[in-house]
Amino acid sequence: MTANDRERRLMPGDATRRYLAALRERGPLDVRWDRAPTRHKRYPEAARVTLPWRTTAEPSPEALAGALLRELLGFDRLVWLHQLDEEGAAAGGAPMLVLGRPAPSGGALYPIEAYVALAGGLYHYDPVHHVLELVRGGDHRPVSGLPEAGGVLVLTAVFWRSMFKYGDFGYRLMCQETGVLLAQAQAAGARLGIGVRAHLGLREADLECVLGLDGRREAVMAALSLTFPCNDGGPGEPVHGERARPSSPPPLPLVGGPAALLHRSTATTGEPGPLPEPWTLPEPPEPPLPLGARHQLPDATPVPQVRVSRTSPPAGYQPVPLPLADLAAILAAARAPHPGGLPEATVTIYLLALRVDGLPPAAYRYHPATTTLTSVGPPDPPPGPLHANTRAALRTAAAALIPVGDPLAAVEQVGDRWYRLQQIAAGASIHRAALAAFALGRAARIHSDGANDATDQVLGLAGTPFRSLSLLLLGTPLTRGPSLVRDLTSQGGDQPPARAPATNP
């Protein structure tokens, strides 16, 4: 029996179960930095559209798409950072110059690439030079099957860029990072006046064929339909010419192991075109209702709309309480509608309250309909296999927000694709919370190692099908820290705001 025959015999959920078992059994990282790929892709022979660094009063679709892409994947700050040890203490040595991006990425590896279909062509975004590279001429928006889209933005994952370091765990990080970028796009689009709608039900193979991707080295994860305030006349006819050639050598393919099996099992089949949205899924079951004390939160005030960014502290927080009103606003942001029309119960929000004004320290479950928190146990920080920087940050954090879900809840309806959808929803939830924290003058940082069996025990989930999916620490940023930051978005004009290195350290 061949490997393909064995895969065809898998039942829905089998690939997810194998993947989850592999994550539980994984050992320490053995990173081969000499095998690290570049952190961005280029089409060096392609024609370029130079994007303005500032939009005008009546920007073109290209300029608006460029502004959105910059707030997703572009470089927005220079950071002079003193080297720290694993617990956030000064380690000595010369300062490092780091190029920061607006949205977080696991290990700062940035495995997600962006392509955009506009009336003038199908482009790849080069974040280093802030240009669009023409991959294919003509109007390819109709290929997506998304009606009346002024633009179609496609997010892809370059697997080896994350998995060279994290192995199979990197696939989970890339799924969550897709959700992070979908939430980032929604927030940036609202500020820029662009209508943004996420789509998770596209038949990825159709788009990969147009983009010239083989699905093993780089694959489509999600798409966004964009509506611009300016009208470009509607979709035209695509030109089926040659594609531009990407830079070489290509990244290594995803060919074997639990992550490869899981990704192949998420592929859609059937007739070409998009899948129906919103998802016709029943609401997944929620975790058992806790019986502890219930606490009413204040009404969540609207979070001020600011430039889309976040404060991700490398050395912990001020050990001061978080105002209860701020926590209420952050929790409300986390429970905004999920991307792609996913059911509300795809993710449930739990909380470790460590230092919150007016709230006893405890582990809680959040009920968005009643804006209440129900105690599920003591506020013991997870005792599991945490990284040193996570243990250090927990000592000064005010709270930890933890998305929870059943990774097998909807496999009968959508198969192993459910794993990817749920991880995307979890990533979107924690990033919306992080953006709300930033807008309120707080800081937040994702610690993916905080989602483990020990955390499940603290939350009272042991023995249930529900699992912690990620962990976002919240707190008040340090007034002094081991870094100096220069904002690259604060200068006017159409020229680059700073002369920056061509790669992201």
Which of the two residues, 430 and 492, has the higher pLDDT score?
A: 430
Which of the two residues, 476 and 245, has the higher pLDDT score?
A: 476
Which of the two residues, 178 and 484, has the higher pLDDT score?
A: 178
Q: 498: pLDDT confidence band, cut at 50, 70 and 90?
A: very low
Query: Given a cut of 80, is residue 21 above it in pLDDT?
Result: yes
Q: Which two tokens stand for residue 122?
A: 């199908």
Which of the two residues, 121 and 492, has the higher pLDDT score?
A: 121
Mean per-residue pLDDT, 2-31: 82
Mean per-residue pLDDT, 102-115: 94
Among residues 488, 411, 505, which one has the least CA distance to residue 130?
488
Query: Given a cut of 50, is residue 505 above it in pLDDT?
Result: no
Dihedral sign computed on CA atoms, order 417, 422, 428, 434: negative
Q: Which two tokens stand for residue 355?
A: 């230092």
Tell me the per-residue pLDDT of 458-489, one tens digit each, with 9 for 90 and over: 999 999 999 999 999 999 988 765 566 777 76
Q: What is the pLDDT of residue 116?
A: 97
Query: Given a cut of 90, is residue 374 above it in pLDDT?
Result: yes
- Mean predicted lDDT score pLDDT of the chain: 86
Residue keyed to tokens 């890339």: 174
The answer for residues whose C-beta is within 8 angstroms of residue 311's C-beta and 6 or more apart is: 437, 438, 442, 443, 444, 477
Least confident of 77-81, 288-292, 308-312, 361-365: 308-312
Dihedral sign computed on CA atoms, order 196, 199, 202, 207: positive
Among residues 252, 218, 217, 247, which one has the least CA distance to residue 35?
252
Q: What percent of the chain has pLDDT over 70?
A: 85
Q: What is the pLDDT of residue 34?
A: 86
Query: Given a cut of 70, is residue 307 above it in pLDDT?
Result: no
Residues of the chain with CATH 3.40.109.10: 38-277, 294-483
**How many Cα neighbours within 13 Å face the side chain of 129?**
13
Fold for the domain defined by 38-277? NADH Oxidase (3.40.109)
> Phi, psi (5° rounding) for residue 76?
-120, -5
| CATH 3.10.129.10 at 294-483, yes or no | no
Tell me the per-residue pLDDT of 387-446, one tens digit each, with 9 for 90 and over: 888 888 999 999 999 999 999 999 988 899 999 999 999 999 999 999 999 999 999 999
The answer for residues whose C-beta is within 8 angstroms of residue 224's C-beta and 6 or more apart is: 152, 153, 154, 155, 182, 185, 196, 197, 198, 199
Residue type, 151: G
